[in-house]
Amino acid sequence: MTTTLQDCRALDAQDPLRALRDQFTLPEGVIYLDGNSLGVLPNTAAARVAEAVTREWGQGLIRSWNSAGWFDAPQRLGNKIAQLVGAAPGEVVATDSTSVNLYKVLSAALSIAGEEAPGRKVLVSERSNFPTDLYIAQALCRERGLRLLLVEPEDIAEALTDEVAVLMLTHVNYRTGAMHDMAAVTAAAHRAGILAVWDLAHSAGAVPVELHSAQADFAVGCGYKYLNGGPGAPAFVWAHPRHASRFWQPLAGWWGHAAPFEFTPDYRPAPGITRFLCGTQPILSMTALECGLDTVLAAQPLGGMAALRAKSLALTDLFIELVEARCAGHGLGLATPRGHAQRGSQVCLTRSEGAYAIVQALIARGVIGDFRTGDGNQQLDILRFGFTPLYIGFEEVWLAVEHLKQVLETGEWQQTRFNQKQAVT
């Protein structure tokens, strides 16, 4: 029996995490299935950022670096993020963008490998990794005379040879929602003498991550997706303590100096993760990010990431079930793995034509997901739906599928207005 709208309402009524939704300001009439691209606005953010502007900046001025907690914001926020990714206090800083942080950790990892195993000249990643990760890897390979080897997920194990210095992967794939077993892949890399660098952009705040127990080497992640930090929010960076103090990171700015206010001409890196800072931090953005982090930490007393994960899987299971039962015969496929252990917090549907227009027609109805292009080879275009368990409910899943069904049955998506591509898809 297919789950009914009444069933979904009952699931919402029994949901122990339901109250967490009240932390957010969601627009009326919108079903927001794009928290994997840009998380929603925490209720506290507008007033908190206004306070940072008018009181801390306006009145406190330069004094606020000390008195308003500006100077240690990267570490304070980092400690909050650490709780969500299985890291210890003092091991994470919030700073810069995911792309920039990836450059730093990849460079540090390659330096370690270069010292320990100078003969290894290959960096391995996944062909379908997020492009910025691949571009940063390409830039570093050019700089250092290395080769970037891109493989399909099923070929990673085989690619871990004694020529490889570093394996760089994104934990949850942005296009398919497929999730790697971080502990197993890291262990396989280590057995082959390879360092493992992980991008947690689609994991932090979405799925449980255990950086320590997985024995990962370095990690970066995104502040504006499941952490609800706001557009362009600072990202974060983690290095295992066995590596954090070993190398200069390449962007050796004064905020990563051991004593920035001694203004010495020589760089002396701060111990630990603080050396991964570069320059002055964007305090207003940090302020908004902290509001976002607090929305996720509010789940801690209710079971934390494990409880969020259970709800996320229930939501994505329900979406898959309803699409298959109610939208059958419309050419939709499933790109996301059915197995729980292999699935992040999103569901990606495929279609050979019209994927972009269908997403646009859904957005016009207030159901916001997004479109990701196929690679033109065998990959089909993707309709992507993110399910943030902090604020998405079961009834919304049912309604979203009902809208999808109507868009497909009426052929509404074929209208010209839904077929004109915009800059951001």
Q: By CB under 6 A, name the binding residues for ligand PLP.
A: 97-99, 130, 132-133, 170, 174, 199, 201-202, 222, 235
Does the annotation flag 98 for ligand binding? yes
Look at the chain and count its residues.
425
In angstroms, what is the C-alpha Rg of the chain? Answer: 22
Residue 226 or residue 394: which is nearer to ligand PLP going by CB?
Answer: 226
319 catalytic residue (yes or no): no
* 337, 177 Cβ separation under 8 angstroms: yes
Residue 111 or residue 125: which is nearer to ligand PLP going by CB?
Answer: 125
236 catalytic residue (yes or no): no
Does the annotation flag 254 for ligand binding? yes
Residue 209 or residue 222: which is nearer to ligand PLP going by CB?
Answer: 222
Does the annotation flag 97 for ligand binding? no
Catalytic residue among 32, 71, 130, 319: 130
In the complex, what is the shortest distance from the CB of residue 223 to ligand PLP, in angstroms, rounded to a whole number? 8
In the complex, what is the shortest distance from the CB of residue 109 to ligand PLP, in angstroms, rounded to a whole number? 16
Does the annotation flag 155 for ligand binding? no
Q: CB atoms < 10 A from the CB of 52, how many?
A: 21
Residue 231 or residue 339: which is nearer to ligand PLP going by CB?
Answer: 231
Does the annotation flag 287 for ligand binding? no
Backbone phi, psi, residue 242, to 5°: -70, -15
Catalytic residue among 225, 343, 351, 365: 225
In the complex, what is the shortest distance from the CB of residue 141 to ligand PLP, in angstroms, rounded to a whole number? 17
Does the annotation flag 133 for ligand binding? yes
**How far apart (Å, rounded) are the C-alpha atoms in residues 146 and 148?**
7
In three-state form (DSSP H/G/I as H, E/B as E, the rest C), the secondary structure along the chain is: CCCCHHHHHHHHHHCCCHHHHHHEECCCCCEECCCCCCCCEECCHHHHHHHHHHHHHHHCHHHHHHHCCCCCHHHHHHHHHHCCCCCCCCCEEEECCHHHHHHHHHHHHHHHHHHHCCCCCEEEEECCCCHHHHHHHHHHHHHHCCEEEEECHHHHHHHCCCCEEEEEEECECCCCCEECCHHHHHHHHHHCCCEEEEECCCCCCCCCCCCCCCCCCEEEECCCCCCCCCCCCCEEEEECHHHHCCCCCCCCCHHHECCHHHCCCCCCECCHHHHHCCCCCCHHHHHHHHHHHHHHHCCHHHCHHHHHHHHHHHHHHHHHHHHHHHCCCCCCEECCCCCHHHECCEEEEEECCCHHHHHHHHHHCCEECEEECCCCCCCCEEEEEECCCCCCCHHHHHHHHHHHHHHHHHCHHHCHHHHCCCCCC
225 catalytic residue (yes or no): yes
Residue 3 or residue 336: which is nearer to ligand PLP going by CB?
Answer: 336
Catalytic residue among 199, 217, 370, 381: 199
b/e burial code for range 5-15 (CB count within 10 A of at least 16 → b): eeebeebbeeb
In the complex, what is the shortest distance from the CB of residue 288 to ligand PLP, in angstroms, rounded to a whole number? 15
In the complex, what is the shortest distance from the CB of residue 348 to ligand PLP, in angstroms, rounded to a whole number? 13
Residue 201 or residue 357: which is nearer to ligand PLP going by CB?
Answer: 201
Residue 8 or residue 200: which is nearer to ligand PLP going by CB?
Answer: 200
In the complex, what is the shortest distance from the CB of residue 365 to ligand PLP, in angstroms, rounded to a whole number? 26
Residue 199 or residue 396: which is nearer to ligand PLP going by CB?
Answer: 199
Does the annotation flag 413 for ligand binding? no
In the complex, what is the shortest distance from the CB of residue 133 to ligand PLP, in angstroms, rounded to a whole number? 5
In the complex, what is the shortest distance from the CB of residue 207 to ligand PLP, in angstroms, rounded to a whole number? 13
Catalytic residue among 24, 224, 394, 418: 224
Does the annotation flag 3 for ligand binding? no
Does the annotation flag 170 for ligand binding? yes
**How far apart (Å, rounded) are the C-alpha atoms in residues 170 and 19?**
31
Laid out side by side, the sheet with 195-199 consists of 92-95, 235-239, 218-221, 195-199, 164-170, 122-126, 147-151
Does the annotation flag 2 for ligand binding? no
Catalytic residues: 130, 199, 224-225, 384
Residue ranges of the annotated binding site for pyridoxal 5'-phosphate are 98-99, 130-133, 170, 199, 202, 224, 254, 280
Residue ranges of the annotated binding site are 98-99, 130-133, 170, 199, 202, 224, 254, 280
